[in-house]
Homo-oligomer: A and B are copies of this chain.
């Protein structure tokens, strides 16, 4: 793990990259990283996230700035900009059931080829997907998801990169921290090694590549 300046971290991300971005309706989204993506006008991005939040919040800022080519999300209902860009054909929106999305990301980070879930069977979400029977019950095969970069929000990071999350700001963050080639973390608090008890660490330090330095 290396510490890095916010602008240098975002400078590493090429136009057209696939990003996982933590957060649930903006809660637990690393806002400084989102703001810097907008400032550096990193465009043509694919974003994998729970939702597109709302205008002015979290991923909503990327939508409004028209930096996204495609989103893979479970919900866009609270962001009219997303709906409008989607209907105008300017943004590809892949809707995935939330539990399936979480497990597909986890599978990507845990080295599994995909997941077998009954969710979506008998609905339009099953279209184009392989069905696999296990013990007489049908499941959809939903492939694993990975990204070039994960933008992760943590409540506490220690100097080694061990991460702890706060309450509902945890959501997709620890899953994404496992599932990207390069993991960039913005932490509310950076603390010396040993301040976080081993049993309270949620994301182990070795998976973190970069920790955004305090200003």
Q: Which residues does A use to contact B, with CB under 8 Å?
A: 103, 107, 110-118, 132, 134-135, 137, 139, 141, 143-144, 155, 164-167, 170, 198-200
Pull 14 A–B residue pairs with CB atoms less than 8 Å apart, ordered by A.
A107-B116, A111-B117, A111-B118, A112-B139, A113-B117, A113-B132, A113-B134, A116-B116, A116-B141, A134-B141, A155-B199, A166-B199, A167-B198, A200-B200
CB distance from A116 to the nearest CB of B (A): 4
Q: Is B200 a contact of A199 with CB atoms below 8 Å?
A: yes
CB distance from A132 to the nearest CB of B (A): 7
Query: Which of B107, B113, B132, B137 is within 8 Å of A137, CB to CB?
Result: B113
In the complex, the chain B residue whose C-beta lies closest to that of A135 is: B143
B-chain residues with CB within 8 Å of residue A139 when the two chains form the complex: 112-114
CA A211 to CA B112, docked complex, whole Å: 34
Query: Which of B137, B144, B200 is within 8 Å of A134, CB to CB?
Result: B144
Query: Which of B103, B132, B170 is within 8 Å of A141, CB to CB?
Result: B132
B-chain residues with CB within 8 Å of residue A113 when the two chains form the complex: 116-118, 132, 134-135, 137, 139
The 3 closest A-B pairs by CB, nearest first: A113-B116, A113-B139, A113-B134
CB distance from A188 to the nearest CB of B (A): 13
CA A167 to CA B201, docked complex, whole Å: 11
B-chain residues with CB within 8 Å of residue A143 when the two chains form the complex: 134-135
CA A27 to CA B164, docked complex, whole Å: 25
CA A179 to CA B51, docked complex, whole Å: 29
